[in-house]
Amino acid sequence: MFQQEAGVPAGSGKTDAISPAQRPPQGRQEKPFTRQHVVADVLETLTSGSGCGVVLVGEHGAGKSFIAQRTLEQLGDDYLVVQVRGSSISSKLPYGALSVLLNDLDASHLEHPLMVLRGLTQLLHTKAQGRAIVLFVDNAHDLDDLSCMMVAQLSAGGHVTLLAACVDLPHVGGDIMGLWKDDLLRRVDLEPFDFAETAATLNQEYGGHFSHTAARALWSASGGNALFLHSLAREQIKLGTIVRREGAWVQGGRSIALTGEVRDVVKARLNRLSPGQRDVFELLSLAGAVPLQTLMRIFNPQDMDNLQERALIQVSHDHPPMVSVANTVTASIVASVVPPGRSAELRRRLTAVLADTEQGEPTGSSDVAWALDCGEEISSATALAAAHLANNASDPASALRFIHEIDGGEALTEVAIESVHAQLAANNDESARRLLHGLDGSAAAGRPLEEWAALQLLRVDLDLRSTATAADARSRLERVRDRLFGPSVEETGQVEAAREQLRLAEVKLAAFEGRYGDVLAAHAGVGAELGTETGLLTASLFCEAMAVTGNVLGAMALGKQVIAAAAAVPMSDRAVREIRGRFLLLMLLSAKFREASAFLTATSSTPEPQARLGGMFEIVRGVIDLHAGNLDGAGPWLEAGMWQLRMQDPDALSGLATAACAYAAGLAGDEERAGLLLAELSQPQRASSWLVERMTRYFELCALAELGQRPAAIRALTAESDSDADAGAAATGLLFLSAAARLGDRQLCQKLAGLAGRVTGQFALLCLRLADGVKDCASEQLLAVAKDADAAGNAVFARDVARRAVYCANEAGNRIALRVSQRTEQSLDDRFGSPKNGLHSLTTSTLTARECEVAVRAAAGTSNRKIAEQMHVSVRTVEGHLYQVYAKLHVASRSELKDVISGPAASARIG
C-alpha cells in the first residue's frame, strides 16, 4: 500500500552529522519495542569487525531509520557515529549528500575524487580520535553517484563501518551494490509487520492491550507499515473509532475512519505514481476487481507490472485471473478522492472494453457502487445480486444502498430476505422484525412455498437472538417441515433446496439447544458433503455433536477436513466465522491448547477481514495463556476480548469472556476483580448456544473455587457433570467432573474413570490416569500425569494434580516422594504468581489454622520467641505447634519446613 516517508524518530538526538554514539541516559528504563532482535542482530554485525557493514532494505515507513537509530544508541563510547542522508534534491548535486562533511574541508580537496577521499578520510579519523567510525547513510537510494562512490570507498578501505538504509537495492548506486555482491555488505530486509508484531507494537506504544478486532483493523488498514500504523492509530483514537475501556483498547461501533493524516499520506503517494500507473490504480480502486485480460486492453502492461512489483496490486489465481488493489482500505481511500469527472472518464474507458465482451451490466458490489456514483441505472437483478454479495462480505450498509435502488423492492421476497440479513448484520433486530411482520397478511397466502419457508427460517434466526423468543424457534421449524414435506407438495428443485436449508436449520437449532442426539440422528447415513456452504456448516455442527458426546478424535479429524475444505469453497463471512469459531471452541473443550494456539496464529495472520474470524478469536489466546499459567499474558487478552465483545458480539460470547476473565483474576489472586465479574454473570445475558453456556458455567465454577468457595464449587461441578452425562454430553460432563476431582474430592475417582472411558482423546486419558492415581494414592503416577498435562499446555490441570501428589506422598509418609512432589507443585504454583499460591495446599489441608500460621512464620526464619510475641501466645505454645507441624508434614528441621512452605505469613490463606 502507499506508505509515508520514514524519517528519524522524534527524540533520536540527531543534530550533527558527526557525533559520539548516542546512548540512552543511565538509569532510564528503555521502552520495549518490536523487532528488538533485529537491532541486536544488526549491532552484532556492525561490531563484529567482519565485512563492511549492513544495508537495511524496506519500503518507506517500514522502520529502517528507527531500527538504525536504536542500533546506533547501543554502540559504546568507543564508536563515533557519522550520519548523512540522501534526498531527491541532493541526488542531483555532486557530493550532495556529503556536503555537510565537505564543508569542513579545504576547497583544494574538492578538485579530484581521490583528493576528496583523502580529505574525508583525514577528517573522519581526526574527529574519531582513535574510535571506530560507523557511517549511517539514510535513503541510500537517493545518493548521487559521487557520494555513492565515496561511501563505498570509505567502507571498502576499512575507514568506516557502513550502516545504510534504502527502499530497494536495485536503485542504489553501483559502488554500494558492488559491496553487497561481493558479500562484504550484509542485507537485512524489513518486511511489513505481521499481525503479531502489529499487536505487540500497539500494546507497547499506547500503554494498554488492543483487542483482536482493533489490532487487526489497524493492521489491515496500515498494510503492516510501521509509520502508517502509528499515524492511523493516533487518528482513530482521536476520532473515537478506537476507544479505551479500562486497560483495553477496542474498536467501537464504527469502521476505521480514513480521514486527516492518513488520507493525506495516501493522496501524496498517489501523486508520486506515473500517469499510467495512477490510471490503473484509480480504476481498480473504483471497480474492485477486473479481469486481467480486460485490464491489459485498457492500460500499458508495463504500468501494471510496476505496480505489481511494488505490491500495490495483486493478481488472483482464479479463472479468469482477476486484478485488484492489494490493500482494500487504501483502495477505499483512493476511490473516495477521485474527482467525479475523472471517475466517469475511467468508467467510460472500462465499459467501452466490456461492451465488446457483452458485459454491459456491472458485477461485484464495488463495481455496482461505482456505477451508481457515476449516475448509471442498474437493473433490479443486478442490484439484488450486489446486495447479496455485500451481505456475504459483512457490508450491510452497502447492501441496503443497493436494495433501495430496486423499484417496488418491498414486494419482492428475495429483496426482503436480503434486507433482513442486512438489518441483522447491523444488529437492528427491531427493524428486521418489522420487515418480516410487514410481509404477513394477505400477500403471504399467495407466496410460493419456498419463499415462505425462507422467510420462516429468517424468523428462526431472529428468535434465537433473544431469550424471550428462543423457545419459539422449534415450533416454527416444525410448521415449516409440515408444509415442505406435505403430501400435496410438488417435487421441484426449489422445494428440494428449501428442504436442504430446513435440515440445516434443524441441525443448527438442535446443537444450539444441546440436543446432540438429534444432530447425530439427522446426520446418520449421510456422508459429509464438503463442497457447498450448507454441507460445510452441517458437517461443522456434526463435529460439535461428535465431540460433546465423546468422540473427540473423530470430531477433530472431521473438523480439520471442514476447515481445509472451507478455504476452497466460496462462503459468506458469517458461515466462515461460525465454522472457525466452533472449531476453536471444540479444541478448548478437548483441552487441545497447543493445536488451538497454532490454528489461532495461522488464521489471524491471514489478510482476511475480521468478520470472517469472529468473537472466539477475541478470547482464545487468553484462555490458552490462562491454562498455560501465563496469567500476565492471559489477563490483558481476556479483558480486551471481553470489552470488545460488549461492543460487538455477533456470536453471543460476551458471557463466556466474562467468566474466563473471572477465572483468570481468581488464579492471579485478584479476588475483588473476580467477584465483580462473577456478579456481572448473574445479570441477563443474550441467548447463547448450549455449548457456550456450558463453557461459561465451567469457568464460573472454577473461578468460585479459586475464591475460597471450594466445597460449594465441587458440589456444583459434580451436579453439572451428572446433568451433562445423563444427557449424553460426556465431554462437557468430563470437564466438570475432572475439575471437581482435581480440587480434592477423592470419592469421585470411580465416577471420573467411568466417564473418561466414554470419551476419546488425550484429555480423557489424562483424566483416567488421574482417577487411577488418586484411587491408589500413588504420588509418582500423579506426578507423571502432571508432567504430561503441563506438556500439553494445561498447567492448571498439572498444578492441581501435583497438589494431589503432595497429599498422597504425605499420607504415605514417603519423604523422598514428598520432596519431589513439593518441588513440582512449587514450580507450577510459581508460574501462576498468585500470593495465595505461596502456601502449599498440603499445609492448608493438613494443618490447623493456628499450626499453619506458626509454620509459615517459622519457615520465614522467625524465632520462636518472636513468633510468640507476634501471635500473643507463650513460647511453649509455639513449640507445641511446631512439634505437631513437624510430625504432620514429616519434616525434621526448619530448613526442611522451608522446602514445604514458601511465602510470607501475610499471604497465608486458610481454607
Of residues 5, 132, 137, 130, the one with CA closest to residue 61:
5
CA gap 602, 102 in Å, rounded: 52
> By the 8 A CB rule, do 144 and 116 touch?
no
Is the bond leading into 636 cis (omega within 30 degrees of zero)?
A: no
* Residue 683 per-residue DSSP state: S
CA gap 887, 897 in Å, rounded: 11
Of residues 257, 289, 313, the one with CA closest to residue 370:
289
Dihedral sign of CA atoms 884, 885, 887, 888 in order:
positive
The pairing of strands 53-57 and 18-20 is: unpaired
Examine the pLDDT at 911 and tell me if it is beyond 50.
no
CA gap 468, 445 in Å, rounded: 28
Q: Angle, nearest 10°, between helix axes 730-742 and 573-589?
A: 40
DSSP assignment of 819-888, as one string? HHHHHHHHHHHHHH--GGGGS-HHHHHHS-HHHHHHHHHHHTT--HHHHHHHHTS-HHHHHHHHHHHHHH
> By the 8 A CB rule, do 650 and 615 touch?
yes
CA gap 168, 306 in Å, rounded: 14
> By the 8 A CB rule, do 112 and 165 touch?
no
Q: Taking all residues of the chain, what is their mean pLDDT, rounded to a whole number?
A: 86
Of residues 9, 213, 193, the one with CA closest to residue 645:
213
Give the pLDDT of residue 408.
Answer: 65
Give the pLDDT of residue 702.
Answer: 95
Of residues 816, 756, 749, 821, the one with CA closest to residue 786:
821
Out of 12-21, 127-136, 311-320, 537-546, least confident range: 12-21
In terms of Cβ atoms closer than 10 Å to its own Cβ (0-12, 13-18, 19+), residue 438 is exposed
CA gap 398, 388 in Å, rounded: 10
CA gap 224, 416 in Å, rounded: 40
Q: pLDDT tens digits, residue range 743-800?
A: 877 788 889 999 999 999 999 999 999 999 988 888 899 999 999 999 999 999 999 9
Q: Angle, nearest 10°, between helix axes 145-156 and 174-181?
A: 30
Q: pLDDT tens digits, residue range 513-536?
A: 999 999 999 876 555 678 899 999
Q: How confident is the model at residue 333 (pLDDT cuts 50, 70, 90)?
A: confident
> By the 8 A CB rule, do 253 and 219 touch?
no
CA gap 818, 387 in Å, rounded: 68
As given in the structure block, the three cell numbers for residue 626 are 490462562
Examine the pLDDT at 216 and tell me if it is beyond 50.
yes
CA gap 281, 307 in Å, rounded: 8
The pairing of strands 248-251 and 209-210 is: parallel
Examine the pLDDT at 2 and tell me if it is beyond 60.
no
Out of 89-103, 276-290, 300-314, 501-515, least confident range: 89-103
Examine the pLDDT at 442 and tell me if it is beyond 50.
no
CA gap 424, 414 in Å, rounded: 15
Q: How confident is the model at residue 618 (pLDDT cuts 50, 70, 90)?
A: very high
Q: pLDDT tens digits, residue range 818-843?
A: 888 888 888 888 888 754 544 445 45
pTM of the predicted structure, to 2 decimals: 0.84
